[in-house]
Amino acid sequence: MAQLTQSNMKFGLDILKTIASSKPTENIFVSPFSIQTAMAMLHLGTRNDSKAEVEKVLYFDFDSVHGSLGEYLQILNQKESSYSLSSANRVFINNKYKFLEEYLQTLQVTYKAEAQTCDFITNAEGEKDKINKWVEGETNSKIIDLIPSGMLNPLTAMVLVNAIYFKGNWENQFEVEDTQSEEFYVDPSSHVEVPMMKMKRKFKFGQSDDLGCSILELPYVKKDLSMVLLLPQQIDGVTSLVNNLTPSKLNELMKEMTEVKVDIALPKFKLETDLNLKEILINLGLSDIFDVSKADLSGIDGTRELYVSHAIHKAFIEVNEEGTEAAAATAVTIMKRSLVMMPQFRADHPFLFFIKDNRNDMILFWGKLQKPAGSVVTTQHQEL
């Protein structure tokens, strides 16, 4: 499990950095765990160079990757009354194509991914609606229309889908009456008005001169899961923070946190993101599986006729006084060839955050709040 946790952190940071470099002024919310799970289901069917590429980019360079993921999915899906956390997998297959029984069986046993036959040849749009309805049901209606119109067609052989959903209340909730409208600085010269939540209480807190940021951990009820926030010291420091963050620096920073009374100001926010995962994965060096002439997915159907045509990811998060609601879904479509003072944690400028499972340090979601909803006002702002 430790190897899986490390691969999850490395891959999550790679994804965050890749998206942030291509969209520096946009909000980000993504579930690296959901992407890893969908890609792991694909990895079972890859062979030769395609297999080696997936292993390199996803950090699946250890034998127990599928056993560890399957084991963690069982832990994650244990019913718990104090919060909702679930991850579901399903594979939708073309009813006219032949697939290796061994592949479908391994998906079922390891990932609890039931295979559902679909008529992509005469009813691609109807089958798209069926897949989207399943995702909607698994994410409490937070992820709607994962697969867009026109993406599926008669050549679609298979769609691998992972959906993850989390809803948890803060262990220490913010008082609604303490929330007031305040400025959030998008950059040193412009701001938006946001509802800012306030609290003074003991939390795990730390600071890093090396990264130029503060770190704060806000646990959810029962403390199985937490949101961890990374706030740059500079108003425009989030890009530098993303660039300099490494797994070892993040591990070190989390280890050095101590429990102190902190004066917190945190905006309420809601983010939705829709990502072209194919583009991101190609940027990370995973290209063979998307190339009709190079893809080797022969572990799925025994031929060299399959390749990955699309990989998409949608995610949603809402943070308020009570807690957090978050969801994400990933689909991979396979086609036939064709100080002494009380420290302040004032999140009034762009910051990073992630939601982690404290039972094994698995990071389920990563995000960057760059600009909360609201109209931007340009100001002559003096440095804080």
CB 224 within 8 A of CB 79: no
C-alpha 133/C-alpha 125 separation (Å) is 12
Q: Tokens 């592949």 appear where?
A: 103
This prediction has a pTM of: 0.94
pLDDT at 339: 43
Pick the CATH number of 2-168+270-336 from 3.40.630.10, 3.30.497.10, 3.10.20.340, 3.80.10.10: 3.30.497.10
> 54: which residues sit within 8 A by CB, 6+ positions away?
39, 42, 43, 46, 60, 286, 289
pLDDT at 384: 37
C-alpha 152, offset from chain centre = 24
C-alpha 263/C-alpha 194 separation (Å) is 18
∠ CA 161-44-156, rounded to 5°: 45
CB 134 within 8 A of CB 113: no
Nearest to 353 by CA among 216, 158, 254, 252: 216
CB 15 within 8 A of CB 247: no
C-alpha 212, offset from chain centre = 24
CB 118 within 8 A of CB 133: no
Residue range(s) of every CATH 2.30.39.10 domain in the chain: 169-267+340-370
pLDDT at 338: 67
pLDDT at 29: 95
Residue 21: CB atoms within 10 A of its CB come to 12
Nearest to 58 by CA among 82, 23, 83, 33: 33
CATH number of 169-267+340-370: 2.30.39.10
Mean pLDDT, 10 residues at a time, over the chain (384 residues)? 95 98 95 96 97 97 93 92 94 96 96 96 97 96 96 96 96 97 94 96 96 98 97 97 98 96 96 94 96 96 95 95 95 79 92 97 97 71 41
Residue range(s) of every CATH 3.30.497.10 domain in the chain: 2-168+270-336
CB 48 within 8 A of CB 296: yes
C-alpha 54/C-alpha 42 separation (Å) is 9
